[in-house]
Structure 1
């Protein structure tokens, strides 16, 4: 299986142990330059690329003179604050010579668990990809506390893959896949080339993290695989320590691939359709025809609003004659929607007193 060579949108997770030399605390600059060349190759064939990168704490702790042992929350956040600047600059320096723009995106668990924040994050990532930029996503360690943390970038990467509808998620690791046992302890352990379903037996084979810099063990990688594959995204675990890890994967390097359970777009539509609507929007015949043709819902086609809902809430979409078209996630509250109903998008700022989204419900946030 090789979903990487055909994927139109790829999310790549890069761990601290790959980016930062454990002994010196310095950036592995040659590796990162080679990684940038791999990204350039993916972009050259038309793929969107998002990097989910650890490394801010690992880089910052050396600058602040912090020990290599476990850090307190305050020291971790201080190290992240210093390291984030260096991490962003490092990506900018390796991508800019190839004409690519690096964009830093810092998220917490709340940003993808809350529907309103989720839509904002999704819109930002989609816009960046539309400009041809390479988003560099990391957990916002400077503000995240335990209750709003992912805790590892494996699961963050899976959530990003779901958020942007990625076809492939690549977890670059210090191991080349999932084994029947720990290959360091069990010489008879064998690697799975393909996992079609994550069974309890498969989960029982997962171990814990073995690196001082890495927090993500095989358990978190399997959790990521569950999230990604359920949303139609193929996922690979492969060894990333050598230069050009993506090129090596495309050329058949050892890896474990997890097969997607659904098409990513179908999975998202099913998720939206299963939500309980908080209200309804009424559209005219012209808008109904446009929606059926794959267009987004613009304020100009809106003829009425029912119920009370917030930004990011699911709403039923109905034609004024009573026919139900489906439902979608609103980018406006019920009060805002009423105010801009029937108006052109260019008038939104004048009506509301602040800039707004051009569409009321984006076609990607709609299940008809």
Structure 2
């Protein structure tokens, strides 16, 4: 059997909500449909934000404590709902899924890293798609920084991914001059990472906590692990397949 290409797909809150206030079942269907199309040649591991966004659809929490604790509580409420939506939709496409909650501290201990690798390899080898999120109830990094971009990069590096795809709400990274002219132009291929850093204009999205600076930090992690990274517009339908077929503009970091 030919070895399948291992793809780590990171999906942010803005992509999952399609820039609304609700999780888009249609977007998760789009992801499931593409994975089903590619499953003979590719194996997928997903790092997914969205737990807080799901919870906000159901509840409004009041607290005199600081905002961070409210977000952690919302993540606790939303995470089971998020996984349920993934499982229901993936099952319709004949896909099996599982939940993994990780913290950045897990990547600092050799024993934890070995356990993560072994567990996820068992899941993938048995045709389960791991859906990973930050364990927000006990860790705060993802809520405060990066919308899971760095978590995705660390996971891709640990698991030896062949490709790291960040699904975001832009057609990749734009040149600084084109943003200033209000005519965004995608940087299609990056060979010099230091040059790319000079082009980044940081901004944060409406639902995500990331921005292009957090993506640059994530790219630096995968670059050190010799993993190719793509920044793709996840709001578009069929965004993974279209990128693979070069039908859409996106940024490819070799």
Q: Same fold (TM over 0.5)?
A: yes
Give the structure with the higher percent helix: 2
Cα distance between partner residues in 2 of 1:234 and 1:88: 28
TM (normalized to structure 2)?
0.90
TM superposition outliers: structure 1 runs of 4+ over 4 Å = 146-151
**How far is the alpha carbon of 1:118 from its aligned partner?**
1.2
1:253-292 alpha-carbon deviations (Å, 9 max, x no partner): 1111011xxxxxxxxxxxxxxxxxxxxxxxxxxxxxxxxx
Cα distance, 1:149–1:120 mapped onto 2, change above 3 Å: farther
Q: In 2, Cα distance between the equivalents of 1:157 and 1:125?
A: 14
Mapping of 1:1-368 within 5 angstroms?
8-20=5-17, 22-23=19-20, 25-45=21-41, 47-66=42-61, 72-146=67-141, 151-181=146-176, 183-187=178-182, 190-199=185-194, 201-252=195-246, 253-259=248-254
Mapped partners of 1:88, 1:219: distance in 2: 28
**Number of corresponding residues:** 248
Between the aligned partners of 1:167 and 1:51, the Cα distance in structure 2 is 14
Structure of greater relative contact order (alpha carbons < 8 Å, 6+ residues apart): 2
> Can you give the 5+ residue segments of structure 1 that lack an aligned partner in the other structure?
1-5, 260-368
1:152 aligned counterpart, secondary structure: helix
The Cα shift of 1:152 comes to 2.8
Deviation at 1:29, TM superposition (A): 1.0
* In 2, Cα distance between equivalents of 1:137 and 1:150: 17
Residues of 2 paired with 1:93 and 1:242: CA distance? 22
1:66 CA displacement:
5.0
Separation (CA, whole Å) in 1 of partners of 2:137 and 2:146? 13
Kept after mapping to 2: 8 A contact 1:31/1:244: no
Structure 2 unaligned regions, length at least 5: none
Deviates more, 1:139-148 or 1:240-249: 139-148
User: What SS class does the counterpart of residue 201 from structure 2 fall into?
Assistant: coil
User: Partners in 2 of 1:149 and 1:121 — Cα distance?
Assistant: 24
Alignment partners' CA distance in 2, 1:65 and 1:184: 36
Q: TM-score, normalised by structure 1?
A: 0.63
Q: 1:94 to 1:82 in 2, by over 3 A?
A: same
Out of 244-253 and 30-39, give the one that drifted further.
244-253
Radius of gyration: which is bigger? 1
Q: Residue 50 of structure 1: SS of its match in structure 2?
A: strand
Q: Which residue of 2 aligns with 1:310?
A: none
Asked if 1 retains the 8 angstrom alpha-carbon contact of 2:200 and 2:213, the reply is yes
The change in CA–CA distance for 1:94 and 1:153 in structure 2 (over 3 A counts) is same
- Post-superposition Cα deviations, 1:287-320, rounded to whole Å, max 9, x if no partner, equal xxxxxxxxxxxxxxxxxxxxxxxxxxxxxxxxxx
Q: Residues 116 and 41 from structure 1, CA distance in 2 versus in 1: closer, same or farther, beyond 3 angstroms?
A: same
Shift of 1:150: 6.3
Kept after mapping to 2: 8 A contact 1:166/1:233: yes
